[in-house]
Structure 1
């Protein structure tokens, strides 16, 4: 059951600390699943953990979370070889695709090698809800700031471009992210950008930002654009706080 139209929830959140697991699903990811509008059956949610090398412990924790919240879970791994015979058929059959964080540069290279760039665009156009955290947020955009190449942040400019903007993640928790994004937008290395503090998400309907959603009251999202004088201009965006995390 697809969403009403192309839908992306790009986040710097969607998971939280847990007592019995490595992490637990948080409101932003729950909301992404709700956006799919599934009724009468378990929503089909597929994890793509390419950015962390298809880490098996992460995959195991995802399945444990999915069992606890009632999702029909699957995952797509690319290393050492794809774990499903038909990547296109599998991803187009999902309600939600959740992309994990890590190396966005590595993610994009492997996706293109295996044709996931084309498949995920087709899934998005078909109404499969795309969501993700960090690298799983930047990937849908033109580019953003990344530590994929080492501890010194650098630009990435070869995102999938489903959304015609740049993306800044971890805007409040990693001090170098904000000034670098400002400089890249001012110098027109990147286009107008949307940035999220940890615990905030950007809901896009089609290619337009429809709403900013947060998991806490103390986090924000921002628009960063090049002003008439060539300097970056940052604007704080209105937001809606999602309900408290589920147990």
Structure 2
């Protein structure tokens, strides 16, 4: 199941109204591979950073198939990194994963098992708290091609 970008809020609302969310959860439990970019990344997590409302904002309403929060376009769009770090620091979003464009993370049974980059310089990070401040820990990515 591959989910592209768009509005995270609209995607989740439509899936829930039409019972697609339940079908996706059942498929995941049976081993179906789930993938996505942008809103398609956000939907799998408990929470995310989204511009579905216009300005970038925290959203604590994901499917919760992956624990924590997600931030796509991490260093590729102005303000994403700074806002995400702030939301993790102040508790608006739980700790989670921040991913640049052209990078991807791979989870197996809900646990991070690796990551890939399509272009040199694309990175991914675990973002968590350390002494009340949000900190990034780079995730090693395998460069494709």
TM surpasses 0.5: yes
1:217 to 104, 112, 120: 120
Give structure 1 regions of 4+ aligned residues with deviation exceeding 6 angstroms.
none
Q: Which is greater in Rg?
A: 1
Shift of 1:161: 0.4
Shift of 1:209: 0.6
Name 2:61's counterpart in structure 1: 158
Shift of 1:218: 1.4
**2:57 pairs with 1:168:** no
**2:45 pairs with 1:141:** yes
Q: Distance in 1 between matches of 2:112 and 2:77?
A: 24
Q: Distance in 2 between matches of 1:142 and 1:225?
A: 15
For residue 126 of structure 2, give the secondary structure of its aligned residue in structure 1: strand
Q: Distance in 1 between matches of 2:64 and 2:57?
A: 18
2:4 to 84, 88, 100: 100
Bigger relative CO (Cα 8 Å, ≥ 6 apart) = 1
2:133 to 205, 209, 231: 231
Within 5 Å, which residues of 2 pair with 1:66-145? 97-145=1-49
For residue 113 of structure 2, give the secondary structure of its aligned residue in structure 1: strand
Shift of 1:237: 1.3
Paired positions, count: 145
What TM-score results when the alignment is normalised by the length of structure 2? 0.97
Shift of 1:176: 1.2
Shift of 1:190: 1.5
Structure 2 residue runs of 5 or longer lacking an equivalent are none
Provide the aligned C-alpha RMSD in A.
0.9
What TM-score results when the alignment is normalised by the length of structure 1? 0.57
Name 1:34's counterpart in structure 2: none
For residue 121 of structure 1, give the secondary structure of its aligned residue in structure 2: helix
Shift of 1:100: 1.0
More strand by share: 2
